[in-house]
């Protein structure tokens, strides 16, 4: 047994009092979880600590909290690991998740945010018509493809730390968009295009994600919601050619074409092209709005008119060739490490092979002597 | 040391002062820059959202060009952009994971006679400072310590997440390096909410309000924490935090006036270079507080 100090964030909105920190010392084996620590404090010290939990085995998704500022499952975080990531005072900080209203202490209102967003994306399979007489036949590869998004246990850790949602509470968000991929990646679903069109046209949909990787870092189940959002964008743009009014697809294509032409990014073209081109009605107000910035940048010689208007850098032939070959392929190659694993992971009995190698007799040289190649 | 140097696109475009200040600082740190002038854009995550293989192949090309320099004696590849670091690391992770996939990518590169061999070492200038040059060595080079300059670190998402891909762990706390460098240069590190958050730049054309709200909020937090300036290793963050700061200020409805320095500029100031040599006059938000500081110190040293 060992002693651990837990500092728990307490808040009861109904009391009218401000949030405060509450410190308790618990006595548990170091490999026990932070959740067990919280429960010991509640059971032995203060019965009023609010915490939600159920399975205690990282599968029900109830005990999402922030430990030392990082979101995760309290039942899936060992006390010794939590201590190692604690501040210099050696106190483990436990707070409720972010981006959601607090009901009490560590319990947040998942209904108000997380579940509303899940419902927003039609989280069920829309079957194809006519319904087959027997079961739908789905290839193994297609189902493996959606296993990563199916691994989600709805704990809300990604929602808690989403930086887009922090400034735009209407953002559909990582969990619901990962759920969307679960159906867009499923060949039995009949509404791929509709789903993508809906979420591309929504200003708070797939193009509202900033690539901040917070959700990938937060997820205790390896769902990597941001990667699922990028897959949705690939399918929306490449397969369904959905030209959304938020300029998501236009920006992507403006960037890709910019590099094909220049090899390195020519920023002066990127902005107008993302709005459809310098003379596009959509671009004109944007360009006028950015005029004061352009003028300041010119005055400070941050950019020169020559650099902005001319294209001094042309893509080398090698770059053009890459675009020709890869963009010319009939099917996109998508290498998903979650599914494929690395060569080292896939080596047949990698550890056994190493052990065998170590015990094998040294190679015999042509002259019959044993030894190294030297 | 000698590095195969990938400056990136924005550092030669809208934030040319970054490339310039790196070139000014490198010899003082005994870094020889061999510029990869034929290399290409990393894709900044945008090409990958269009086609992963395209992004992987483009970056494999840059790595292959860097490896040619490494064969000729460069120690490693160095970049000066958080976004390049993250986007390139992401592609490298896939390329290094599978010999089969790498062979497919190398087949595309073979027309140009290039081949990527797995395991390239590609480090941002920030990592090179701490891991290759070392803070002890850096400290001995400081001529004009940043005494009393209050500096807020701003990392950029791509250089701090995901931690496993970027080899960030307790033994190698790369997400704390900016603070360590600021301290080594004699400055005061400002702790504020936005240091590891997103500047909002990637969605500036898709959801401008949300993008500027992010930049404005972090800058405002730094103002509230009484920072004199921010420092960032990411030129894309610099675009949203400096170039767009007047717009961000309107979005959040408060005055900001927070100068944002590129990492080599901050290092350069402490190593004794003048603000002008480091291109500070090109910033949209005039780094008055920083320049006042450096001139006051220069004044102190010369004895008036």
Is the pLDDT at B300 greater than 50? The verdict is: no
Q: What are phi and psi of A251, to 5 degrees?
A: -65, -45
Comparing CB atoms, the residue among B53, B108, B201 nearest residue A332 is B53
Complex ipTM value:
0.94
CB contact under 8 A, B203 and A210: yes
Disruptive mutation site among A87, A211, A304 for chain B (greatest number of B CBs within 10 Å): A211
Question: What 3-state class would DSSP assign to A186?
Answer: coil
Higher pLDDT pick, A289 / A355: A289
Partners of residue B108 in chain A, C-beta under 8 Å: 321-322, 325-326
Question: How far is residue A30's CA from residue A1's CA, in Å, rounded to a whole number?
Answer: 7
Instruction: Count CB-CB contacts under 10 A for residue B164.
Output: 11
Nearest-Cα residue of chain A relative to residue B158: A212
**Residue pLDDT, tens place only, A107-160:** 999 999 999 999 999 999 999 888 889 988 888 888 888 999 999 999 999 999
| pLDDT given at position A161 | 97
pLDDT band at A370 (very low <50, low <70, confident <90, very high): very low
Partners of residue A293 in chain B, C-beta under 8 Å: 243-244, 246-247, 284
| pLDDT given at position A364 | 44
Higher pLDDT pick, A283 / A27: A27
B178 neighbors B126 (Cβ within 8 angstroms): yes
* Residue A9: both structure tokens together: 């964030």
CB of B162 within 8 Å of a chain A CB? The answer is yes
- In chain A the domains, ranked by start, together with CATH numbers, are 2-108 (3.10.20.30), 111-130+142-239 (1.10.1060.10), 248-328 (no CATH)
CB contact under 8 A, A208 and B206: yes
Q: In Å, what is the CA distance from B146 to each residue of A189, B143, B185, B270, B292?
A: 60, 9, 6, 6, 12
**Residue pLDDT, tens place only, A246-285:** 999 999 999 999 999 999 999 888 888 988 887 787 787 8
* Residue A4: both structure tokens together: 């651990």
Segment (H or E) for A24 = strand A20-28
A185 neighbors A239 (Cβ within 8 angstroms): no
Nearest-Cα residue of chain A relative to residue B212: A167
A341-346 contacts: CB < 8 A, separation 24 or more?
Answer: A341/B97, A342/B96, A342/B97, A342/B98, A343/B97, A343/B98, A343/B99
| pLDDT given at position A365 | 44
Cβ neighbors of B244 (< 8 A, separation 6 or more) are A293, B204, B212, B215
B105 neighbors B116 (Cβ within 8 angstroms): yes
Residue among B49, B55, B127 at smallest CA distance from B85: B127
Comparing CB atoms, the residue among A84, A168, A265 nearest residue B13 is A265
Question: How far is residue A157's CA from residue A108's CA, in Å, rounded to a whole number?
Answer: 11
Q: Chain B: nearest CA to A145, how far in angstroms?
A: 16
Partners of residue B49 in chain A, C-beta under 8 Å: 230, 233-234, 252
Nearest-Cα residue of chain B relative to residue A343: B98
CB contact under 8 A, A207 and B206: yes
Q: In what order do the strands lie in the sheet with A2-10?
A: A20-28, A2-10, A91-95, A64-67, A70-73
Partners of residue A333 in chain B, C-beta under 8 Å: 52-53, 101, 104
| pLDDT given at position A368 | 44
**Residue pLDDT, tens place only, B242-285:** 999 999 999 999 999 999 999 999 999 999 999 999 999 999 99
Nearest-Cα residue of chain B relative to residue A332: B51
| pLDDT given at position B127 | 98
Vertex A264 angle, CA A260 and A267, to 5°: 100
**Residue pLDDT, tens place only, A78-92:** 999 999 999 999 999
CB contact under 8 A, B14 and A297: yes
Is the pLDDT at A371 greater than 60? The verdict is: no
Comparing CB atoms, the residue among A164, A204, A267 nearest residue B10 is A267
Across-strand partners of B34? B4
Partners of residue B12 in chain A, C-beta under 8 Å: 264
Average pLDDT score over residue span A364-373: 44
pLDDT band at B303 (very low <50, low <70, confident <90, very high): very low
Of the given ranges (A265-274, B93-102, B166-175), which has the lowest mean pLDDT?
A265-274
Comparing CB atoms, the residue among A293, A300, A321 nearest residue B112 is A321
Is the pLDDT at B169 greater than 80? The verdict is: yes
Scanning B229-258 for CB atoms below 8 A from A yields 243-244, 246-247
CB contact under 8 A, B202 and A318: no
Comparing CB atoms, the residue among A246, A300, A321 nearest residue B111 is A321
**Residue pLDDT, tens place only, B55-91:** 999 999 999 999 999 999 999 999 999 999 999 999 9
CB of B14 within 8 Å of a chain A CB? The answer is yes
CB of B94 within 8 Å of a chain A CB? The answer is yes
Torsion angle of the four alpha carbons B20, B26, B31, B32, in this order, in degrees rounded to the nearest 10: 40
B194 neighbors A167 (Cβ within 8 angstroms): no
Comparing CB atoms, the residue among A204, A217, A266 nearest residue B162 is A217
CB contact under 8 A, B56 and A335: yes
Q: In Å, what is the CA distance from B125 to each residue of A93, A177, B82, B257?
A: 33, 35, 9, 27
CB contact under 8 A, A216 and B161: yes
Is the pLDDT at A367 greater than 60? The verdict is: no
- In chain B the domains, ranked by start, together with CATH numbers, are 2-124 (1.20.1050.140), 135-302 (3.40.50.11810)
Question: How far is residue B41's CA from residue B34's CA, in Å, rounded to a whole number?
Answer: 17
Between A and B, how many CB-CB pairs are < 8 A? 213
Disruptive mutation site among B10, B16, B40 for chain A (greatest number of A CBs within 10 Å): B40
Question: How far is residue B100's CA from residue A372's CA, in Å, rounded to a whole number?
Answer: 31
Cβ neighbors of B226 (< 8 A, separation 6 or more) are B150, B190
CB contact under 8 A, B210 and A293: no
Nearest-Cα residue of chain A relative to residue B44: A255
């Amino acid at each position: 047994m060992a002693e651990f100090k837990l500092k728990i964030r307490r808040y009861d909105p109904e009391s009218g009092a401000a949030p405060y920190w509450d410190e308790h010392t618990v006595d548990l084996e170091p490999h026990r979880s932070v959740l067990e620590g919280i429960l010991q404090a509640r059971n032995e010290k203060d019965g009023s600590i609010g915490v939600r939990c159920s399975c205690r085995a990282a599968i029900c998704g109830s005990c999402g909290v922030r430990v030392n500022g990082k979101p995760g499952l309290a039942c899936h975080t060992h006390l010794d690991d939590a201590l190692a990531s604690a501040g210099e005072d050696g106190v483990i900080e436990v707070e409720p998740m972010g981006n959601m209203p607090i009901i009490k202490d560590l319990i947040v209102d998942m209904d108000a945010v997380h579940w509303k967003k899940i419902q927003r994306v039609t989280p069920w399979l829309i079957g194809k018509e006519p319904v087959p007489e027997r079961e739908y036949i789905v290839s193994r590869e297609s189902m493996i493809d959606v296993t990563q998004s199916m691994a989600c246990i709805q704990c809300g850790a990604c929602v808690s730390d989403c930086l887009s949602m922090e400034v735009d509470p209407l953002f559909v968000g990582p969990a619901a968009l990962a759920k969307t991929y679960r159906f867009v990646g499923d060949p039995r679903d009949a509404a791929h295009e509709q789903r993508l069109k809906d979420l591309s046209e929504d200003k708070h949909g797939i193009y509202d994600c900033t690539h901040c990787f917070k959700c990938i870092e937060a997820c205790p189940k390896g769902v990597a919601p941001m990667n699922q959002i990028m897959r949705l964008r690939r399918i929306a743009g490449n397969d369904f050619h959905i030209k959304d009014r938020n300029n998501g697809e236009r920006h992507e294509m403006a960037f890709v074409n910019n590099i094909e032409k220049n090899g390195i990014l020519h920023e002066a073209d990127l902005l107008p092209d993302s709005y459809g081109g310098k003379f596009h009605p959509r671009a004109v107000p944007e360009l006028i709005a950015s005029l004061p910035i352009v003028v300041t940048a010119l005055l400070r010689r941050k950019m020169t008119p020559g650099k902005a208007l001319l294209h001094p850098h042309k893509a080398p032939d090698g770059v053009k060739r890459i675009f020709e070959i890869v963009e010319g392929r009939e099917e996109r190659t998508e290498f998903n490490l979650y599914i494929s694993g690395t060569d080292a992971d896939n080596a047949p009995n990698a550890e056994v092979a190493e052990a065998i190698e170590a015990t094998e007799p040294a190679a015999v040289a042509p002259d019959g002597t044993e030894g190294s190649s030297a | 040391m000698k590095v195969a140097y990938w400056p990136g696109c924005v550092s030669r475009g809208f934030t040319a002062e970054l490339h310039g200040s790196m070139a000014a600082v490198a010899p003082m740190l005994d870094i020889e820059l061999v510029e990869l002038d034929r290399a290409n854009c990393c894709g900044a995550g945008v090409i990958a959202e269009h086609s992963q293989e395209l992004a992987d192949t483009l970056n494999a090309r840059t790595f292959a060009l860097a490896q040619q320099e490494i064969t000729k004696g460069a120690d490693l590849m160095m970049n000066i952009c958080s976004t390049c670091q993250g986007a390139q690391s992401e592609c490298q992770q896939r390329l290094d994971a599978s010999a089969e996939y790498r062979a497919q990518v190398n087949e595309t590169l073979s027309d140009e006679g290039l081949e990527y061999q797995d395991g390239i070492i590609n480090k941002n200038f920030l990592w090179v400072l701490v891991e290759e040059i070392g803070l002890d060595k850096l400290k001995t080079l400081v001529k004009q310590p940043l005494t009393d300059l209050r500096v807020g670190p701003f990392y950029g998402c791509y250089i701090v997440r995901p931690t496993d891909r970027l080899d960030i762990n307790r033994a190698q706390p790369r997400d704390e390096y900016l603070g360590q460098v600021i301290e080594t240069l004699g400055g005061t590190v400002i702790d504020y909410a936005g240091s590891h958050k997103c500047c909002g730049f990637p969605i500036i054309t898709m959801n401008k309000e949300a993008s500027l709200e992010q930049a404005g909020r972090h800058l405002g937090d730094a103002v509230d924490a009484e920072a004199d300036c921010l420092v960032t290793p990411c030129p894309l963050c610099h675009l949203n935090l400096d170039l767009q700061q007047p717009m961000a200020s309107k979005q959040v409805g408060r005055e900001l006036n927070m100068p944002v320095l590129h990492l080599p500029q901050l290092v350069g100031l402490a190593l004794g270079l003048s603000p002008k040599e480091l291109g500070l006059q090109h910033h949209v938000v005039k780094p008055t507080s920083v320049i006042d500081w450096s001139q006051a110190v220069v004044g102190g040293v010369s004895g008036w």
